[in-house]
Amino acid sequence: MTPRPHSAVRAGIRGTCTAVLAIAAAPTFAACPLSETAPISQLRADVARLASQGQRPDAISCLQREVTRHESADAQLAGDLRLELGKLLDDAGQFADAKSQLERAVRVFEQGARRAPLAEATRRLGWAEYRLGDYTSAEAHLRHALELHIATNGPTNIEVGRALNSLGVVLRDRGQYDSAERTLNDALAIATARTDHDHQDLSAVTHNNLAGLWYYRSDFRRAIESQHCHQRRHA
C-alpha cells in the first residue's frame, strides 16, 4: 500500500476534527415541559415562571414551539410571543437571535397598529442592536421607541424613562457626551419621581450609566458619586 503523504494525513485529521467540532457546536434546545393543551394565558404564565426559576432554555423552547403553532392562525398573538421570546434571548446573551425575533414582532405590531407593544418591541430591538455593536440602528430605533412611548403613555411614564436610559447609553458610547448627559438626566428625573421598586431599579441603573459617562469624561469625582448612588439604591 502506498503510504499516505503526511500533508494529506494532516488534512484528514483536520477534516475529522472539524466535523466533530461542528457536531459538538450544533445548538440543542430543551424540550418544552409544558402541555400544548394548556390555555395560552396559562402557558405564558408558566413560561414566565420557568424563566424566573432559572430554567431559561425550557422557557425559550416553549415560546419557540408556541410561535410556530400560532403564527398562521393568529399573527398578533405570535407577535406577542416573539416579543417575549426576544426578551428571553436577550437575557441569555443571544443578541442576534433576539434581534431576529424582535424585528418580526415589530413588523407584526406595525401591521396591527398596536402602539404599546410596538413601542416596547422597538425599544428592545434598539437595545439588541446596541449589544451587537450597531449603534446607528440602535439610536434610530430607540428614538422611535421614545416617541411611541410618549405618545402611548405620556412623557413621565416609566417606559419613557427606560427608553431614555437606553438611548443615553448609546449616545454615551457614540461619544456624544453632552446629549448623553441630558438624556440620562431626563431618565433619572422620571426614575426618582416615585419610590416603587421599578422606579428605584431604573434610578439605580441610570446612576450607574451616568457613572460610566463621567468616567469616560475623566470626571472621576462625579463618577464615584454616581456609583455611590447606584450602590445605595441596591443596598
pLDDT of residue 201: 95
**What pLDDT digit, counting tens, does each position of 173-206 carry?**
999 999 999 999 999 999 999 999 999 999 999 9
| Band of pLDDT at residue 229, cut at 50, 70 and 90 | low
Decide: residue 227, CB within 10 A, 0-12 exposed, 13-18 middle, 19+ buried: middle
CA-to-CA dists, residue 171 to 167, 203, 208, 210, angstroms: 6, 18, 15, 12
CA-to-CA dists, residue 24 to 15, 28, 57, 147, 183, angstroms: 14, 10, 18, 45, 45
Q: Which residues of 177-189 are buried (b: 16+ CB within 10 A; e: fewer)?
A: eeebbebbebbbe
0.75 exceeded by pTM: yes
Assess whether pLDDT exceeds 80 at residue 48. Answer: yes
Kindly tell me the sign of the dihedral angle through the C-alpha atoms of 80, 101, 113, 145. Answer: positive
213 and 178 Cβ atoms separated by less than 8 Å: no
Q: Note the CATH number of domain 154-235.
A: 1.25.40
Highest mean pLDDT among 16-25, 40-49, 218-227: 40-49
Assess whether pLDDT exceeds 70 at residue 80. Answer: yes
